[in-house]
Each structure stands twice: as structure tokens, then as C-alpha cells.
Chain A
Amino acid sequence: MGGTTESSGKKQGKDSVRLPNSDRQANKDKPTRYRLCCDVSKIDCLELLPYAMRCYHLVAFVSYRGLAGIVFRCPTGSPSLTMDRDLLRQSVSYHGPNLFSLLKCEQSENPDFKYVAADLAKSVNQRDKEDDSPVVEQFIARKADLLFAPSWKFTAPEEDDWQEATQELYAVMPPLEQFMDVPYEERRDIFYRDVERGDMVIGRITSIRDFGFFVSLICTAGGLERDIEDLEITGLCPIRDVPSSGNHDDPLSYFQIGDLIRAGVKDIDRYHEKLTISLYSSSLAPNFNKIKLGVISKEELPLHYIRGEKVASDSSETYERLLESSLGFSNPSNVDYLLGNLGIIDTKSPSLMRGLQSKHFKEDDFASAIRKKQSASWALKCVKAGVDHFKSGRHVEAMNEYNKALEIDTNNVEALVARGALYATKGSLVKAISDFELALDTCPTHRNAKKYLCQTLVERGGQLEEEEKLVTAEGLYKKAIALDNTFQEAEDALRKLQALIQKTLKRKAEEAAREEKPQATETSAEKLRKILREEKRMKKKRRRSDSSSVTSSSSDSSSGDSILSASRKKSKKRKHKRRRSSHSSKKRKRRVSSRDDRTTEDKEEHYPVPANTSASFINHKGALTKLIDEEGGDEDRRRSYGKNRAEDSRGRSEDYRPSRSPEADSGKGRWQFSDRPEDPVLTGVNGREREAYRARRISDDSIRSHQEGSGSSRHAVSRMDFLSSAYSEHSLKLDGPMKDTSWQAASEERSEGGGRERKDRAREDCGSNRGADGKDRRLSSGDGNRASAGSQKKDLPANLLDIFNQIAEFEKERKQKK
């Protein structure tokens, strides 16, 4: 496509086909090579040929099109050159010796130019362009190192799947030569020069023969857009390139003279100017693979052709007017689209100005880098302020600062560690762990993050152990050890836990075997009696002391039954554990928290071991659990406000873990435990479910008959509490109006807690030093207790009603089932 192409295009086209005609040969290797020669000669750089032939070996397996593209870029890609020799030659031969001497002068310090100079001298012909301005030549010479650098040209964009645009993203213009009145002969020549195998053409059938049909091309589609309608270019579509459809013998019977046909160019005989086309889409270039070939309607003609027809019919239509009137031209994003189309990356596009070369831009000077740095230092400031707040005990302010810091700079390591520490102090171990982990993700060597994470993991492990989630706890210990294998606490904890797991499994198996018989022999009447007895006893106990009736009732039930005796033994062991885990927390407390140390004594004191509870009580609770499970979903949630509220307070008490009574834990843990379907005990329980249910109904009746208010309702709540533990996740999500309606239950739960705590305080007031927070909470819950003491009686019936409604509904359901 150099200066001489235009004049010698035809001649060269003929030169090239003097080589053996490639396209007809079946040999897979040869055609490509010959084709390569054609193309090289076509572009008027025969000197390039040896070069290209060398490159050819490297890319021999690339498809024809890709090959051509690569071959011509090969000289430019040559590692030793920073100037595209081929391009430079083209320019020099166009501008004449003047440019060459200027180049020699301007680029004298460019070693690469010296390298090409000798070569260039040959190609300078003596033709001097008359219309050349010296300014332009000066410019070319000065900027030659940029203009002819291989890196100047963006690598060609990946050819996307070509598709007919459904809407006009940019102004689609008719081919320029249509306006220019390029002579017929020249247009015909350049068409045959430029058309390639795989191109898409559209034509009209002119005649149908036995061996195929002839098509007179009216336009091209896809990449090459040319004005060819009047060029009388005919293509033959042989019968073997017409897909036969179904059982019709003659595929040609589908076609009529005058049909519009879209086809792929299969073969070009440039010498004889003959075209073979195909209706198989495999004949198209790979990026057209979604195009359907064959007969098309007038509407499917490409837009540039339709526009071109309009121009042809209206001589007053100019390129400019058409451009400005087309819809795509006013599309504000056409610049971006076309830049993509032409392979230019806008924000990275280079400049010819020396001072704007990309090497002058440092990464640090970019807006994003500065902003990042600035945000980091700002965030750090916030963290500092937060730490100050934290040190003086203003935890809320500290949290606000940390959150602000993280808002400014997400993943700010210091802020994450500080917030994690605050969470840990507050007892939200899970949140603390996730913060520490995030911090370590960003900065795996952060010492404090690692240290705190280990400690928090162990503490959380202890918590999980109490909740009987032994396996999860084990995982946490292991994680802590993985983080820091010198962390003794974690190793101790893990060893003890593993021993515990072993024992538990063994015992459970034993218990399961032993349990079967007594259960079966028990009659429902006996169960009922036991339940009643128990109910009374519990009430008494509650009156006697208000230290956590919830838990005492649950541990009541644990004692007599065989399953529960197992869990009791377990909890004894747990007690042991707990003492140890509270040790670890003690250590931590000394460092970071203002928590008190009473956990251990608390637990021991609050571990009443009442005897003789019927197994049926358990079952009855199990049945209720199931009942609620079955009713499931929203209904369940709605009915169990009390439960939710209780859960809510449970969730809170998790935050203040040390002040929580451990029995609640053990009860909860057990329930989760026995809820597991693989539990051997439960499978036995299943059969007795109905019986248990009856028993429970009666017990509920007894509640009604007693009407003692606080006691029974509290019992209900306590039951709810157990149930709720299974729902810990989603019940925590509930808030807002739910909380309002569940006030009664909440107040009770709180009154229990408060009572418990009041007692604790009385016990502890003398010695222990407590954090401000713990005191606050205790005070408020004490208030709640006082307040609820008044409202309790009034509120109770509503709460009871709720439960009775549940039972009634369940009965109804059962009847229906029957």
C-alpha cells in the first residue's frame, strides 16, 4: 500500500499470481506459503520477503488471516529494532531524499536509525514530492523515533464477534469512494487486491446452473466496506458449497434468480478475477461465525449499503451532511465506541510531545495513589483518636472513630486491629475474630493482629466448648496453633478438648445402649405425675431463690434421665474446662478488658444438682421443639416472640459472657446436642413422641389450673429459651416491632437475669473490681427487674395465651391428620 501501489497495483496483482495458484491446491501447507508471497508483494515491499518467509516458519500453524497479520508485524516486533524499518522505508520513499537527509541529521544519535539508514538509502528514489512542506518533513524527522517505534502502534484489538448492530452506535457511512468518483477500473482492481478468503459478500443470483449458481455482488459486509455494486463482479457458488437441507435432492431448488444471497468468499482467482463463494459459514472468518448465510431479505442489507443507495439517488447528499444527520453521530458515547473499534486506549493513548511520554509519569503522582496515601494517613489519625477514647473508657466514641477510619480506608490494618480489640473487650468474639482475620489478610505480618487473634480464637473456643460445639472449638484451637505454634494456651486447650471429645463419644454410646429399656416401660400416667411433681418443685424453688430458674429447671431435668446424666457428667468436666478457659480470659482481661473474674465461682455456685426428673419431661420438651420446628417458618417466629426476646437477651448475654449463668449454657448445649438427627437416643424418642405430647398437654393444663402467674409463665419462657438456642441465628435478626410485642417475655427474662445479678453483686461487691460497663448493664437490668416486677402479673396472661394458642392449634392439626 505504498506510494507505488496505486500506480502499479494491477501489475503487482498479476505478478503475484504468477506464482503457482495456491487456492486450488489441496495441499494444506503450500497454499499458505504462496498466499503469503502474494500478500507481501502486494504491499510493495519485496525486500521484506525473505524476512517474512523466515517469520512464516514461526507462525505456520496460525490460520491464514492471523498469519498475514503476524507476518507484517514481524519486522516491527523484531527485538533489536526500536524503529519500524518497513514503515520508515515507506515514508522515506514517499517524501523523497529531503526527508532522508533530515532524518540523518535529526536522528544521528539514534543507534537504531544508523542500523536502518543504509537500508533506507537504497529505497530513496529521486522523486521529490512537489507539495511537500519542509515543516512536515522536519516534524517527521524529529519525531521519527516515536512515529516509527513499534510500540507506537497499539496492538490490533481482538476481533470481536462481528454482528450487525441493532442500533447505530456511530454514524455508519457509505464507502468513501462512492463520493470520490474513483474510476471503475481502479475500484475493480483494489477490490480484487483487497478481498480475502473469509470475507462476507452480498449479491443477487443472476443464473442457476446444474453445477451451482452465479451471483452478482452488490455489496460487501463485515470489515471490508466497498462500493462494488456497479463493478459487475460475479461469484460462483458451486453446488457442493450449498448446504443441502433434508431430503430434497436438489439444494438449488431453494434458490431463484433475483434472490439476495449472503455468502462467504471461499476462493479468489486474482489473475482471472474470479470469485468462488460458499454458503457454509465455515467459509467465513472466525469472527463472523454467528452469521447466517443464504437468502436474506432487503431489510437485512448492511446499513452502509442502504445509505449509499440513498446517496446515489440524491446527488445533493454530501458526506458531511449525511454524517451530521445520522443518529449515531450524536450518540455521546460514540467516541468511546470508535476508539475501541480502532484499538486506541483513550487514557493510555500516547502523545508526540516529549514531555508527555509515559516514562515521565510516576505511579506515585496519579490521583488514585495520592488519594490512597492520603486516606491511609487520615484513617490512622482517626484510629489514634479512637485509641485515646478507648483508653479513657469511652468505648462508643472509640468505636465510632474506628468505623470512620474504616470508612475512609477500608482494610486499614490498624483500624481493624483496634476495632477487633474493642470487640473482644466487649465480648463479641466472633466479630473480633473476623476483624483480626481481615487485618491479617491485608498485612499477614502484623504482630498485634496475630497475637490478638490467637487469644480471641482460644477464648471463642472455650465459649464453643461450653455450647457443646466441640468440633468447631477444636477447629478454632487448631487455627490458633497454626497462627502461632508457640501459643501454649491453645495447645493445652486443644489437648484437653480432644480428650473430652473421645470420652464424650464413648459415654454417649454407652448411654444410648443403656437407656432404651426404662424409657419404654414408663406409662404415660407415670410421666404425667412426674411432670406435675416437677412443675411444683420448680415453682417452689423459684420462690425460694430467684437465681436463674431457667437453668435450674433445665438442670433438674438433666439429672434423672440417663441422657442427661451423661450430659451432667460432661458438664462437670466442662466445669473443669471452664475454669481453665476463664483463666485465659482472666489473662486477657488484665490486658485489655474491664471484665470481672467471677465466672468460675459463679458457675460452681450456680450448678444445682437436683435429683429425679422424669425422662418424659425431656421428651415433652423435645416434642415441643419438634412441634415448633414443624410449624416452622414465619408462624413459628410470630408465635415465639417470647422466645425471640429471650434469645435477644441471650445474644446480649453472650456479649457479657462472664456474667451469664453457665447452666443456661449447658441446657442449651444439650438441646442442640439431642436435636441432632444422628443421635441414637432421639431415634428412640421419636416413637414416643405422641405419648410425650399428651403428657405435655396435661402439664399445660396444670399450668392453667395453677394460674400462679410468674412461676408457670417463667417456666414457659425457660422452655422457650431452650428452643430458641437452636434458632440463634435468625432470631437475632428479628427486631423492631417484635421487640415491642415481646416485652412481657423480655421483662421476665430480664428479671431473672437481674435477680441473678443482684445476687452476684451482693456477693461480689466486697472484693472484685468491675468494669464500668458491667456495672451499667447490671444496673439497667436491675431497673428492668424492678419495673417488670410490677408489670409481670398483668402481662402474664397474654404470654400464657400465646402458648395455649399454640397448643390448641397443634391439637387441631393433629385431629385433622387423624
Chain B
Amino acid sequence: MEAARSAHVSGPREQRGEENADGKDSSNDAKTHFRVCRFIIETGVKLDMRSVPVATACALYHKFFQTASLQIFEPYLVAMSSIYLAGKVEEQHLRTRDIINVCHRYFHPGSDPLELDSKFWEMRDSIVQCELLILRQLNFQVSFEHPHKYLLHYLLSVRNLLNRHAWSRTPIAETAWALLKDSYHGPVCVHHRPQHLALAALYLAMHTYGVQVPRGEREWWQILCEDITRAQIEAIMTELLQLYDMEAKCT
């Protein structure tokens, strides 16, 4: 494991798709990551997790596999530990028993709940062990600034720009929120600033419904985030939308 880690400490973040020389391998890895993230998000729903803890869990997972190899670490175990750790970080404490139960049922659909025997306790131990591993791998930097609160503040500001009836019939907030949540299927969250991600989600949502705001000397999105260009927004949007294509490929 030590060796594996040192081999993979490859410095700065890499662009997606360039992680490995072998292109096929990397696309396979991306698919695996997508599936595991889907697993995290699905488990989050079943555990009644709020969006921010789920986001943290995914971010932990992506961060971990930025420097670790899929060949060495079991991604689903890392995912389970990420969920557990995220619950702690975001103060929505989850019980390992629930996590194990839900995950067990995910892997064995329709099965009966586990007996609380030694097998169960072994699983619990491995989750806790892996949690420590993640912590060490991430140098104990496990709190993230998420785009969620940016997005919500942006939404509020934009709402005030719009006619209230137009707002109440257009599901901008819902769509932007869903886009943001879905973005955690991929490593977008570790590649971009939270403000940018939030803005891209909002931009895409407004764009989808053809909603326009009064135009001044500067665009609304330039105000919300000073250091972003339209090209950047479109790049992030494309990245977000690719995830939906990815879903078709992975399932």
C-alpha cells in the first residue's frame, strides 16, 4: 500500500482522460468511478442523507482516487467509508450498521438483512479501517467548500431579478439543484472552484427554460463570479452534460 501510494503521488491534478497512457483503461476507470459514485448517491438517498454530506462523500472518493489506484483499493469499500466519514464531517452522523445494511442490500438485492454476527462486525471493522486510510491519504484534509451554498445564494439573487410569477412557474431552483447533485457522479467537484460549478449549474438551468434577466452593462453571471468567462461556463456545462451520456454508457 505504501508503495502504491508513492507510485501514485503524481503531483498536480491531471486532466480527465489523461490519467493513463492507455486510453481504454482510463475510460474503464471513469466508468467504474461513475458506477461507484452512483452507488454513493443511491446509498445516500436510502440513508436519508442531505445533499451536502453526499457531496462530501463523493468528493472524498474522488480525492482519494486522484492519487490512488483502482487496482489496489476496492472502490466500493472506499465509497462506504467515504459515506461514513462524510457523515461525520458534515455532522449528519450515520450508523455503520445502516450503511452496511443498505450496501449489503445494494449488492444482494432482495436479500434478508444481515445477522449481527462476526461477519457483520468484520465488515464494520473494515469500514472503520478504510476510513483511517482515507484520512491518511488525504492528509486529514476532509472538509470541502461545496458549491451548494453558493448556488443557493445565487438563486436568491436571481429570484429577485425576475418576476415572481415567472419564478414560481419555472423550476430553475429545482433544475439547478439537481444538476449540481448529479455533477458529483464525476470528478467535476475536485477540478473546479465551487463558485464556478454553482454558476454553471444555475446558468444551465436558466438557459434550459429560456429565462432571461434584465441586461445591464455586465451580465448577471459576471457579477456573481468575477473570474469566470463564458467559455469556462460552457466547458463546465459540457462536462456536466457528459455525465448524462455517461449514464447511458454505464447502465
Q: A-side interface residues toward B, CB under 8 Å? A: 1-3, 5-6, 39, 42-43, 68-69, 72-73, 76, 84, 86-87, 90-95, 131, 133, 135-136, 138-140, 142-143, 147, 152-154, 156, 170-171, 173, 175-177, 179-183, 186-187, 190, 193-194, 196, 223-226, 318-320, 323, 329, 332, 334-336, 338-339, 341-344, 346-347, 349-356, 361, 364-368, 370-371, 373-374, 377-378
Docked-complex contact B177 and A366, CB < 8 angstroms: no
Docked-complex contact B217 and A87, CB < 8 angstroms: no
**A6-B215, A371-B97 known; A91 vs B163 contact (CB < 8 Å):** no
Q: Choose one: A2, A87, A353, A378; the contact of B185 (CB below 8 Å).
A: A353
A171 partner residues in chain B, CB cutoff 8 A: 153
Q: Say yes or no: is B197 at the interface (Cβ < 8 Å to chain A).
A: no
Docked-complex contact B210 and A139, CB < 8 angstroms: no
Cα–Cα, bound, A93→B52 (Å): 35
28 of the cross-chain contacts (CB-CB < 8 Å) are: A1-B162, A5-B212, A6-B212, A94-B209, A94-B210, A143-B244, A147-B175, A173-B157, A176-B220, A176-B224, A177-B216, A179-B218, A190-B214, A319-B223, A320-B225, A329-B149, A335-B51, A338-B152, A342-B173, A349-B177, A349-B181, A352-B178, A352-B244, A353-B38, A353-B185, A354-B251, A367-B99, A377-B113
Q: Most chain-A CB neighbours within 10 Å: which of B156, B182, B214? A: B214
Docked-complex contact B98 and A186, CB < 8 angstroms: no
Cα–Cα, bound, A196→B171 (Å): 22
Docked-complex contact B178 and A349, CB < 8 angstroms: yes
Docked-complex contact A344 and B153, CB < 8 angstroms: no
Closest 6 CB pairs of A and B: A94-B210, A1-B166, A180-B216, A374-B113, A182-B216, A153-B171
Docked-complex contact A170 and B152, CB < 8 angstroms: yes
Q: Say yes or no: is B249 at the interface (Cβ < 8 Å to chain A).
A: no
Cα–Cα, bound, A323→B51 (Å): 22
Tell me the B129-186 residues at the A interface (CB within 8 Å).
Answer: 148-150, 152-153, 155-166, 168-171, 173-175, 177-179, 181-182, 185
Q: Which residue of A lies closest to B105 (CB)?
A: A365
Q: Which of the candidate stretches B6-14, B21-29, B74-82, B233-241 sits at the interface with the other chain?
A: B233-241
A344 partner residues in chain B, CB cutoff 8 A: 173-174, 177
Cα–Cα, bound, A138→B248 (Å): 14
Q: Which residue of A lies closest to B52 (CB)?
A: A335
Shortest beta-carbon distance, A75 to chain B, in Å? 9
Q: Which residue of B lies closest to A361 (CB)?
A: B45
Docked-complex contact B210 and A365, CB < 8 angstroms: no
A94 partner residues in chain B, CB cutoff 8 A: 209-210, 212
Docked-complex contact B223 and A179, CB < 8 angstroms: yes
Cα–Cα, bound, A153→B175 (Å): 9
B195 partner residues in chain A, CB cutoff 8 A: 320
Cα–Cα, bound, A6→B161 (Å): 12
Cα–Cα, bound, A733→B172 (Å): 62
Docked-complex contact B156 and A95, CB < 8 angstroms: no
A335 partner residues in chain B, CB cutoff 8 A: 50-52, 148-149, 152
A196 partner residues in chain B, CB cutoff 8 A: 164
Shortest beta-carbon distance, A15 to chain B, in Å? 16
Docked-complex contact A87 and B45, CB < 8 angstroms: no
Shortest beta-carbon distance, A11 to chain B, in Å? 16
Shortest beta-carbon distance, A332 to chain B, in Å? 8
A365 partner residues in chain B, CB cutoff 8 A: 46, 102, 105-106
**Contact residues of B: prevailing secondary structure:** helix
Docked-complex contact A374 and B116, CB < 8 angstroms: yes
Q: Say yes or no: is B207 at the interface (Cβ < 8 Å to chain A).
A: yes
Q: Choose one: A72, A153, A318, A373; the contact of B165 (CB below 8 Å).
A: A72
Cα–Cα, bound, A354→B98 (Å): 25
Given A5-B163, A180-B223, 7 more contacts at CB 8 Å?
Answer: A5-B212, A69-B165, A94-B212, A135-B238, A176-B157, A187-B214, A371-B98
Docked-complex contact B216 and A181, CB < 8 angstroms: yes
A91 partner residues in chain B, CB cutoff 8 A: 208-210
Docked-complex contact B157 and A183, CB < 8 angstroms: no
Q: Which residue of A lies closest to B110 (CB)?
A: A364
Shortest beta-carbon distance, A268 to chain B, in Å? 14
Q: Choose one: A3, A135, A349, A371; the contact of B51 (CB below 8 Å).
A: A349
B175 partner residues in chain A, CB cutoff 8 A: 147, 152, 352
Docked-complex contact B216 and A69, CB < 8 angstroms: no
Q: Choose one: B48, B149, B212, B224; the contact of A3 (CB below 8 Å).
A: B212
Q: Which residue of A lies closest to B48 (CB)?
A: A347
Q: Which residue of B lies closest to A92 (CB)?
A: B210
Docked-complex contact B169 and A353, CB < 8 angstroms: no
Q: Say yes or no: is B49 at the interface (Cβ < 8 Å to chain A).
A: yes
**A335-B149, A347-B50 known; A152 vs B165 contact (CB < 8 Å):** no
A139 partner residues in chain B, CB cutoff 8 A: 208, 241, 244
Cα–Cα, bound, A370→B46 (Å): 10
Docked-complex contact B163 and A193, CB < 8 angstroms: yes
Q: B-side interface residues toward A, CB under 8 Å? A: 38, 41-42, 45-52, 91, 97-99, 101-102, 105-106, 112-116, 148-150, 152-153, 155-166, 168-171, 173-175, 177-179, 181-182, 185, 195, 204, 207-220, 223-226, 230, 234, 237-238, 241, 243-244, 247-248, 251
Docked-complex contact A153 and B98, CB < 8 angstroms: no
Docked-complex contact B158 and A73, CB < 8 angstroms: no
Docked-complex contact A342 and B152, CB < 8 angstroms: yes
Docked-complex contact A153 and B169, CB < 8 angstroms: yes
Q: Which residue of B lies closest to A170 (CB)?
A: B153
Cα–Cα, bound, A139→B38 (Å): 20
Docked-complex contact B164 and A6, CB < 8 angstroms: no
B182 partner residues in chain A, CB cutoff 8 A: 351-353, 356
A39 partner residues in chain B, CB cutoff 8 A: 165
Docked-complex contact A367 and B102, CB < 8 angstroms: yes
Docked-complex contact B171 and A152, CB < 8 angstroms: yes
Docked-complex contact A368 and B210, CB < 8 angstroms: no
Cα–Cα, bound, A171→B152 (Å): 10
Q: Choose one: B169, B244, B248; the contact of A73 (CB below 8 Å).
A: B169
Q: Most chain-A CB neighbours within 10 Å: which of B113, B159, B181? A: B113
Shortest beta-carbon distance, A325 to chain B, in Å? 13
Docked-complex contact A180 and B234, CB < 8 angstroms: no
Cα–Cα, bound, A351→B46 (Å): 14
Shortest beta-carbon distance, B127 to chain A, in Å? 15
Cα–Cα, bound, A153→B209 (Å): 12
Cα–Cα, bound, A90→B224 (Å): 25
Cα–Cα, bound, A71→B161 (Å): 22
B169 partner residues in chain A, CB cutoff 8 A: 72-73, 76, 84, 86-87, 153
Cα–Cα, bound, A3→B206 (Å): 12
Docked-complex contact A370 and B102, CB < 8 angstroms: yes
B38 partner residues in chain A, CB cutoff 8 A: 353, 355-356
A347 partner residues in chain B, CB cutoff 8 A: 45, 48-50
Q: Choose one: A42, A92, A95, A152; the contact of B174 (CB below 8 Å).
A: A152
**A147-B208, A152-B175 known; A334 vs B156 contact (CB < 8 Å):** no
Docked-complex contact B48 and A223, CB < 8 angstroms: no
Docked-complex contact A3 and B247, CB < 8 angstroms: no
B251 partner residues in chain A, CB cutoff 8 A: 354-355
Cα–Cα, bound, A153→B48 (Å): 21
